[in-house]
Amino acid sequence: MSFSPRISNPFQQNVATDPWGNGPADVQEIHHEVFELCRDALAHVQQNLCSTGVIIHGSPGSGKTHLISRINHKLSLAKNPQSQCAVFVYVRLDSSPGMLWRHVRKTLANDLMRPVVGEKLNQLDCVMADRIPAILNKQQGSEAFQQEIRERMMELDIECQLGGELCTVVSHLLEKNLIHEACRWMRGESLPQTILDQLGLGPESEEAMSPEDQAREVVQGLCRLTGPRHPIIFCFDQVEALQSTPTDQTGIFAFGQLAATLHDQTRNVLIVSCMQSAFKDEFENYVRGADFERLSEFAQQALNPLDGEQAKHLIRSRLQAIREPALLAHMESDPIWPFIQADFDQAMDSLDTTPRKLLAFFAARFPDRVSETVSHIPSPSLQQFLEAEWEERYEKSLGRKPQSDTEAILRAGLPLLQFILAPDWRIEPGPERSDIDLTIIPPEPHKPVAVSFCFQQNMTSLAGRLRRLAQGGWTPDRKRLLLVQDPRIAISPTAKKTRRYLQDLADQGVRSLKTSDSALAALDCLRDLIADAKSGDLAKSGETVDPKSVQQWITQNLPDPIIHLWDQLADSATRPSFNDSDLSPAPGLLNEIQALLLRLHLCTAAEIAAETEADEIIVLNTVRRHPDLFGILTGPPAVVFRMVTPLLTPDASSPKSQ
């Protein structure tokens, strides 16, 4: 019997990463009892109008993400629009303690806007259709429809205690008006006043609520809005990734508090927390006892190793997916062909037969059993595997991360970078509701450095932060202050307060650091790779890659942009004085040059000097200190131009070979 010239090996895709995707066929016999437990927990929420929690734990490769995907496909509104199913939200915890509520807000907003299968609606539309049936009729866009939306939302504002801004933004989304701008607000992005005006929202205040508090209020408001008919399933995955070091407890403790608040302040939420079994006891020790009780209130359940019948179901499902007529014909008479019972007996000898290990076992045997023409990807070395993973992730991140992700990347990535490059240093989160986001603590006798992330696109919000810092929001006698800015966010010439406060801080000896796209992409890649390794989701040929091996490889292969970023941070702590003549010029001049080149792209140094009222030599010195932002054509006359990040450059993206 002949086969197609090239049959793909159906067992080589053995790591699930996205529960929203359409991966290999689901084998419902595997972890059926755990899925039913989650279904019962959801029914408990709906029937008793009270939130509850489930903890799911298992070995690496035991199928946690596959189970989460089944929960989504079987119980979520996005996959079952005609039912009273739940809103499904998948939260990968590659975040940091100081941004957890913002991370959940962003994920909830994104998942609410996901399209529903077979409908021209998203999850938010389907939820709101129960409250506003006009959403389902064909008169959308008419004045009468818009009026009905607004009237009903005013009633829901009172009924669900939404708050005027959330009510207004949801109205825009339901009316399909200013969708892009409304989605940005829902995700928690800092918006310029022009966009807030378009949305009909009031001006930002310099003393606005902290971003974390705002995010918590929005998340709770959206939970109230979905109501009892459509509870929300929050699936929290990769809990281990909240640890920046092996002994770090801050992120785990903060997650416990967040989950407890969700549990206590809502009536329609199912919290599903997924982690490795080896980490569960450590997790229980790191969170408060009362928080753990809420997280595991309904149940805590292990994902058990596969038994013989489950193993056969998994292998048959992969074989049937090939759709090769000759192969299927064999399987009609022998369901496990081309394998024999002895293969399964050998595979099941392991005491911990996970789906990932089983698939890797049969992936190695499939080519010889079927045909020499079966395509088989040879197993790479660990070095080759990690290089390929880094390149792929770096390319996805470079130039594609929005400005709103910059703070999240730095908050989560810098502690990891410090642990690798300077283990005798420490990075601690700043105080809650403070303008200090991180504190870098070097060895004595150097002073700590308070780091403030100045990424607000709304100039009023930024001015408020800078004013508080300039008026004593830090303690210069005990620590130094470093402002970190995103070069894509220029300070406009009309933002006079912002510029004045920047100059006040510069006069106090405060330094400013501009991030680069290449450094941010590398840092994002670092945190993503380590998060997958810690959570058991990084596997080579079916074998889980140990986090220590990943960290060792990263330590030996860090690319230059990320090393330069750390050098800049360390330099801010170890220089003798912040007022040395060789320090960066005042942040105001750098911002003025940046704003000018964002508008003109290139101009002479003399023109920049005239526009900014600065000395031409100081302008050129400022530009030369930021080669990641500007380039110079020496002339004469000297011409300055704005650097644009290339799609991918080997020297910036490739880890250095040792």
pLDDT at 653: 40
Provide the mean pLDDT of the chain.
Answer: 85
Distances (CA, A) of 95 to 139, 408, 448, 649: 42, 7, 24, 28
Q: Which of 35-44, 221-230, 567-576 has the highest mean pLDDT?
A: 35-44
By the 10 Å C-beta count (0-12 exposed, 13-18 middle, 19+ buried), 353 is classed as buried
Q: Which residue has the higher pLDDT, 190 or 615?
A: 190
- For the cut 60, the answer to whether the pLDDT of residue 72 exceeds it is yes
- For the cut 50, the answer to whether the pLDDT of residue 105 exceeds it is yes
- For the cut 70, the answer to whether the pLDDT of residue 421 exceeds it is yes
Residue with tokens 């002339």: 635
* Residue 343 pLDDT grade (very low, low, confident, very high; cuts 50, 70, 90): confident
- CA 139 to CA 148: how far, in whole Å? 11
Report the pLDDT averaged over residues 79-84: 65
C-alpha torsion 387→388→391→396, nearest 10: -150
pLDDT at 579: 44
* Residue 265 pLDDT grade (very low, low, confident, very high; cuts 50, 70, 90): very high
Report the pLDDT averaged over residues 318-341: 76
For residue 157, the number of C-alpha atoms closer than 13 Å in the C-beta half-sphere is 15
Phi, psi angles (nearest 5°) of residue 459: -65, -30
Q: Which residue has the higher pLDDT, 630 or 336?
A: 630
Question: Which residues have C-beta within 8 Å of that of residue 627, sequence separation ≥ 6?
Answer: 643
Query: For residue 449, what are the β-bridge partners?
Result: 440, 480
Distances (CA, A) of 490 to 137, 567, 618: 44, 24, 20
- For the cut 70, the answer to whether the pLDDT of residue 645 exceeds it is no
* DSSP sequence for 168-194: HHHHHHHHT-SHHHHHHHHTT----HH
pLDDT at 81: 60
pLDDT at 371: 62
- CA 644 to CA 200: how far, in whole Å? 34
pLDDT at 580: 39
- For the cut 50, the answer to whether the pLDDT of residue 2 exceeds it is no
pLDDT at 654: 43
Of the candidates 548, 549, 403, 420, the one whose C-alpha atom is nearest the C-alpha of residue 487 is 403
Lowest mean pLDDT across 237-241, 318-322, 564-568: 318-322
- CA 542 to CA 360: how far, in whole Å? 5
Q: Which residue has the higher pLDDT, 25 or 363?
A: 363
Q: Which amino acid is at 213?
A: D
Q: Which of 111-120, 551-560, 636-645 has the highest mean pLDDT?
A: 551-560
pLDDT tens string 534-567: 988 898 877 889 999 999 999 989 988 899 899 8
- CA 641 to CA 359: how far, in whole Å? 53
Hey, what are 262's tokens?
């969700």
Q: What are the residue ranges of helices labelled H in 453-585? A: 459-470, 496-507, 517-534, 547-557, 560-574
Q: How many CB atoms lie within 10 A of CB 151?
A: 11
pLDDT at 476: 61
Residue with tokens 């056969």: 312
Q: Which of 9-18, 96-105, 473-482, 646-655 has the highest mean pLDDT?
A: 96-105
pLDDT at 649: 33
pLDDT at 619: 83
- CA 74 to CA 80: how far, in whole Å? 7
Do 517 and 398 touch, CB atoms closer than 8 A? Answer: yes
Do 539 and 356 touch, CB atoms closer than 8 A? Answer: yes
Lowest mean pLDDT across 78-82, 90-94, 258-262: 78-82
pLDDT at 41: 96
pLDDT at 533: 92
Do 358 and 347 touch, CB atoms closer than 8 A? Answer: yes
- CA 132 to CA 134: how far, in whole Å? 5
* Residue 326 pLDDT grade (very low, low, confident, very high; cuts 50, 70, 90): low
What does the DSSP 8-state code read for residue 284? Answer: H
Report the pLDDT averaged over residues 43-68: 93
- CA 457 to CA 190: how far, in whole Å? 5
* Residue 25 pLDDT grade (very low, low, confident, very high; cuts 50, 70, 90): confident
pLDDT at 54: 97
Report the pLDDT averaged over residues 516-542: 90
pLDDT at 139: 60
- CA 226 to CA 220: how far, in whole Å? 10
- Longest C-alpha distance within the chain, in Å? 86
pLDDT at 583: 40
Of the candidates 506, 514, 462, the one whose C-alpha atom is nearest the C-alpha of residue 485 is 514
pLDDT at 308: 87
pLDDT tens string 560-606: 889 989 988 988 887 755 443 334 455 578 888 888 888 888 899 88
Q: Which of 122-131, 323-332, 550-559, 638-647 has the highest mean pLDDT?
A: 550-559
Q: What are the residue ranges of helices labelled H in 350-405? A: 355-370, 382-397
Full-model pTM: 0.84
- CA 362 to CA 347: how far, in whole Å? 8
Do 287 and 296 touch, CB atoms closer than 8 A? Answer: no
